[in-house]
Structure 1
């Protein structure tokens, strides 16, 4: 382990132990607010502390075995010491990798639920049909991972699928798993309406937002929004509600429009729409900050066929994620098994962060 990283870990260890002493101080113990603040600070670094202690224990045993090799002449003891050096070396290597991950900047959004939006983009009816297929794929993925999915708003395509569908996904660290889905998804296949068997290319855009709760302050002034109510409708525009329960909110300053029509009442639809608006405004602020800091752009892309993050090639039963050059079986993924791709994307992000941090 490099000295800079080792020294940082020693500082964290010292900080954790000092926080423990403060927690045991009667003055702190009798002040519940102060106690909770210090306890949270300690819990934030507990995993690093415990993992580093394991590393130090392995290091201690490693050094002990080295001393035996340098001073002992008994062949049996020497063999045991050499074997132990190999064991402790492997343990330290694995723990060092774990510590590198733990030391990386933590994204608070990773633990949040998700608001996802899928839109048919380039390709007309075929793009809308593909949007429907993507939604089914995410439905199956959620079922496989015990995530709960709920449709908030949807506009059905004239030939099937969706020109737009908005839904929430709730579960354990959903944003961590699904944040890589945002972008342009491209499909290559023969449409049902194609009479000559030609392969067409269409796209759908996927937006993934962390669902923002009350722990994040996003101010929405009443004078900045315009609220409209209308009747909820289903496939083909058929009314599914005889009252004006659906809600559309327009944020005047940004032009963002959000709609909720699948809740039971106008009040519930209003609350849901405000939650979506809050998440979109939060994401807009994050994107602005990222642009200022590093020039990063693109939340979901425009939908142009060239702006692809992933290609779904039906004739060859192959799906390819272009960001990491990873390919696997299309049928397996469309059946909801996204784990291989997601694991590869998480590993790629981790490797880049480690490299950027110089660990």
Structure 2
């Protein structure tokens, strides 16, 4: 985005901030709680933008003074000092521009950070049976993390692996505010390096799984026309006893416009499986739209943190070296056992810091 366009947008935000400042103290607005809360939320966001804009203008004025010294002062020492200061000011201006850009454009698509529910999908990738086993290991890691966080989870869909583990498993997580805001950083490719128990030669094996974290959305947030859905039913191959396998309780939904397909077979009731499948479908459609918007702005933002790109290798779990490394922030933790026991919050906290930079 060009600087002129950014400044124009900041000027508009400044004008809007002053208008809301006057409006928010009006008795008729204060008495209307719904309208007041809406305006207060907008006021808080605009206040941050205006504060950054004021800081930006101060730095621009300082840069003008520095350039005057560099062009007109004959003192070599003074010029060297001005040159050093100019480098710092340009870095500050770049940082303010990025923060302003994020507040103006990116935050519109990240307001779901506060959500108290999320859908987490784990799928085996390269590595065959070892990838399926790793899906189960990561599932255990997450469920232990949920327990530490005081969150509840349910398995919506599960497909067993050939020997052990899972080819695919989908979870519904509910808890306090910020569930999605924490879990969103887990989206991407998780790679494991270890010697499988089945490996007689003791060779190091590398396999990978994908994790997709979706914000759980309400039916009012994503409108789906019934005519756009193709519904198929089939017999469950999962657990649940003979009753499940004798009836077509499992549900497969296909959203025709986006070609997104969802299966659910964990419940004995076809109606309950349909409801769960619809919940996943809504979240996937919502996430698809969000990712399209994020791709448009990611060229300027130049950040892979929390973009939700599932093709990006985000983390490696190296068992021989007892190390877990997050490649987005080049951070390694040498306590793989603790990490796999659900102690992942420290890594998430660091990712949050990097996202805001």
TM exceeding 0.5? yes
Structure 1 counterpart of 2:217: 212
Structure 2 counterpart of 1:299: 309
Cα distance change of structure 1 residues 320 and 117 upon mapping to structure 2, 3 Å threshold: same
Say if 2:238 is the partner of 1:234.
yes
Structure 2 counterpart of 1:69: none
Deviations 1:93-114 (A, max 9, x none): xxxx9xx799675321112221
Q: Retained in 2: the 8 A contact 1:118–1:204?
A: yes
Say if 2:112 is the partner of 1:109.
yes
Say if 2:229 is the partner of 1:225.
yes
Structure 2 counterpart of 1:144: 148
Taking the aligned partners of 1:144 and 1:11, their CA distance within structure 2 comes to: 45
Structure 1 counterpart of 2:136: 132
CA-CA distance at 1:7 after TM superposition = 9.9
Normalised by the size of structure 1, how large is the TM-score?
A: 0.71
Q: Retained in 2: the 8 A contact 1:318–1:330?
A: yes
CA-CA distance at 1:240 after TM superposition = 6.0
Cα distance change of structure 1 residues 281 and 144 upon mapping to structure 2, 3 Å threshold: same
Superposed, which structure 2 residues align to 1:201-280 within 5 Å?
201-218=206-223, 220-234=224-238, 239=242, 241=244, 242-280=246-284
Q: Retained in 2: the 8 A contact 1:149–1:167?
A: yes
Q: Retained in 2: the 8 A contact 1:149–1:170?
A: yes
Structure 1 counterpart of 2:126: 122
Q: Retained in 1: the 8 A contact 2:30–2:36?
A: no
Deviations 1:156-184 (A, max 9, x none): 11211100001111122111101111111
Say if 2:180 is the partner of 1:170.
no
Corresponding residue SS for 2:25: helix
Superposed, which structure 2 residues align to 1:1-359 within 5 Å?
14=18, 17-22=21-26, 24-25=27-28, 28=29, 36-46=34-44, 106=107, 107-112=110-115, 113-171=117-175, 172-218=177-223, 220-234=224-238, 239=242, 241=244, 242-294=246-298, 299-301=309-311, 307-328=312-333, 329-351=335-357
Please say which of residues 192-201 and 209-218 is displaced more in the overlay.
Answer: 209-218
Corresponding residue SS for 2:181: helix
Normalised by the size of structure 2, how large is the TM-score?
A: 0.72
Structure 1 counterpart of 2:83: none
* Superposition RMSD in Å: 3.3
Cα distance change of structure 1 residues 9 and 273 upon mapping to structure 2, 3 Å threshold: closer
CA-CA distance at 1:17 after TM superposition = 4.3
Q: Retained in 2: the 8 A contact 1:128–1:160?
A: yes
- Where structure 1 has 5 or more consecutive residues not aligned to the other structure, the ranges are 54-96, 302-306, 352-359
CA-CA distance at 1:147 after TM superposition = 1.2
Structure 2 counterpart of 1:92: none
Q: Retained in 2: the 8 A contact 1:234–1:240?
A: no
Taking the aligned partners of 1:44 and 1:300, their CA distance within structure 2 comes to: 32
Cα distance change of structure 1 residues 338 and 216 upon mapping to structure 2, 3 Å threshold: same
Q: Retained in 2: the 8 A contact 1:16–1:49?
A: no
Deviations 1:197-247 (A, max 9, x none): 1110000011111111145233x2222221112233326x97562432221
Q: Retained in 2: the 8 A contact 1:232–1:239?
A: no
Cα distance change of structure 1 residues 143 and 44 upon mapping to structure 2, 3 Å threshold: farther
Taking the aligned partners of 1:194 and 1:238, their CA distance within structure 2 comes to: 34
Deviations 1:331-358 (A, max 9, x none): 111000111110111101111xxxxxxx
- Where structure 2 has 5 or more consecutive residues not aligned to the other structure, the ranges are 1-6, 52-95
CA-CA distance at 1:44 after TM superposition = 4.2
